[in-house]
Structure 1
């Protein structure tokens, strides 16, 4: 399974050499086998990239993210085709049962809130707040009709930041860090969705008309606390340095507990989405879905 995450900055050109990504800067060259690469994050706005390389990156189902002037991911490269049984899988996806969607969304949000409680525990937040989150996790209903997710979010973020904190305030450097980390994980989820032949624009819960990745917006939820745990435990200073951004990108390599084993986030995303497909296609019970658990979260060392 591919595992390398390649971060591109201050590079002259990216091109293809045999079955490798060739990175060129001045007279220096580096070659990385495409089979080793999970994703490429391009932050250099002046870097040249050949069309031949783009085609091969797509053919190898490598996640490619392009960042803007503020270093935040702005776009990603997605293949026109992916899974060998894509048409059949999409047709099944369009027929996913609404009741099963409701139960799935309840399960996803319950696990997200539970994972948030593990983050608070990791940060030594008072037990009363953790217990209140656990209570909310147990109260989520099908389709989250009472919007328990939002109630939990207010308690969660105000347990770490002060009561004046606004998640939507772009001037707060912690929000910039969270947004960067979420964007990286969301892109990895979207890549896996496409690789498995699903239609990323058709969500289980999210239905944004202008969101081409509604399904990724659904499936990222239980993974968000991975980003939260890093940012809240290691807050950035005045701005996002290159070193800090690299650590956010490498959250894809940290390990979570899933299906009884510690797995990288990259692998956990694949396991989770595969189990969701089985839940719908093989009529699995919702309890059999493999969800990431941040109880024993292990960060990847650079």
Structure 2
């Protein structure tokens, strides 16, 4: 059964198919995997060579090829029979309002709990923490907005920016957050395309031209992972003049995806956890059973801040 989602990020690599094997060859190594075990191939390498024979064999095995630019999917190559298989698409469209609401409620519950865990790790004695804790554990319909208000107040105060306002163009350290979220969005889109889900059919975010609301929906519980990565950078670079999206920052923040987390009893990196969450969402959609969707919920909080080394940036 096709299961693996293969990520190709090695520079100057050659990707081909030989004797039924997916082959990735670099200057100093060669790795193989049976193509029949692959569900999708995500290519983020900026200088990979793809042999035409791979396209043909991938089509025969029902494997999708996803080509990315700056980590964001730019092209999706599907086998003809898979491109015309509308079963999953119809299942997404056919979700009832009740099912959408249930899926979104589970998403927001996880996001709010993860925000609370980060705030508790960062500022355990903050005066607003009881308010955030109450809001995160409540069942109010608009709990997300209440949690966001207290959450950003706590983070802003902990970082000596008490007037911080979360907004795309609000200045301060928003640019750092926005870049991190863009990386998270790209990773979410990669997994959605790889598993055959159409990101234009969301469960809460509004559909707009050239938008991908489902990706915005499912990435919500992972936002605190980006927040924590950004916070660590800022605490290691306390002067506001260093809060720019530099090459060093980009190298640092993209590393959030390889941090280890607990999910359903497994220790996974965030890339693997994100894939598991989206697989569960896919099953929930196909079988119309929301219980199969299990958003990521941190079990161990967030680790303490450590000094960033040059090795971590390389």
Q: Please indicate the TM-score interval, normalised by the length of the shorter structure.
A: 0.7 to 0.9
How many aligned positions are there?
276
In the alignment, structure 1 segments of 5+ residues that lack a partner are: 24-28, 68-72
On the 8 A contact 1:136/1:152 being kept in 2, the answer is yes
In the aligned structure 2, how far is the partner of 1:80 from the partner of 1:282? 26
Q: CA RMSD in A?
A: 3.7
In the aligned structure 2, how far is the partner of 1:131 from the partner of 1:76? 41
Q: In the alignment, which residue of structure 1 is the partner of 2:165?
A: 166
* Residue 94 (structure 2) pairs with residue 95 (structure 1): yes
Deviation digits for residues 219-276 of structure 1, max 9, x if unmatched? Answer: 0000101001111132152423323212222211112221122211111111111222
| TM-score normalised by structure 1 residue count | 0.74
Q: In the alignment, which residue of structure 2 is the partner of 1:79?
A: 76
Q: Which range is displaced more, 258-267 or 274-283? A: 274-283
* Alpha carbons of structure 1 residues 295 and 223: separation in structure 2 relative to 1, 3 Å: same
Paired residues for 1:216-295 under 5 Å: 216-235=215-234, 237-286=242-291, 288-295=292-299
Q: In the alignment, which residue of structure 2 is the partner of 1:137?
A: 136
Paired residues for 1:208-219 under 5 Å: 208-219=207-218
Deviation digits for residues 13-50 of structure 1, max 9, x if unmatched? Answer: 78767766788xxxxx67775979855265xxxx8988
* Residue 15 (structure 2) pairs with residue 6 (structure 1): no
On the 8 A contact 1:173/1:239 being kept in 2, the answer is no
In the aligned structure 2, how far is the partner of 1:173 from the partner of 1:66? 28
In the aligned structure 1, how far is the partner of 2:101 from the partner of 2:222? 19
* Alpha carbons of structure 1 residues 104 and 20: separation in structure 2 relative to 1, 3 Å: same
On the 8 A contact 2:42/2:194 being kept in 1, the answer is no
In the aligned structure 1, how far is the partner of 2:166 from the partner of 2:8? 28
Q: In the alignment, which residue of structure 1 is the partner of 2:146?
A: 151
3-state SS of 1:78 partner: strand
In the aligned structure 1, how far is the partner of 2:179 from the partner of 2:199? 20
3-state SS of 1:294 partner: coil
* Alpha carbons of structure 1 residues 138 and 6: separation in structure 2 relative to 1, 3 Å: same
* Alpha carbons of structure 1 residues 80 and 95: separation in structure 2 relative to 1, 3 Å: farther
Q: In the alignment, which residue of structure 1 is the partner of 2:308?
A: none
In the aligned structure 2, how far is the partner of 1:7 from the partner of 1:239? 27
In the alignment, structure 2 segments of 5+ residues that lack a partner are: 305-310
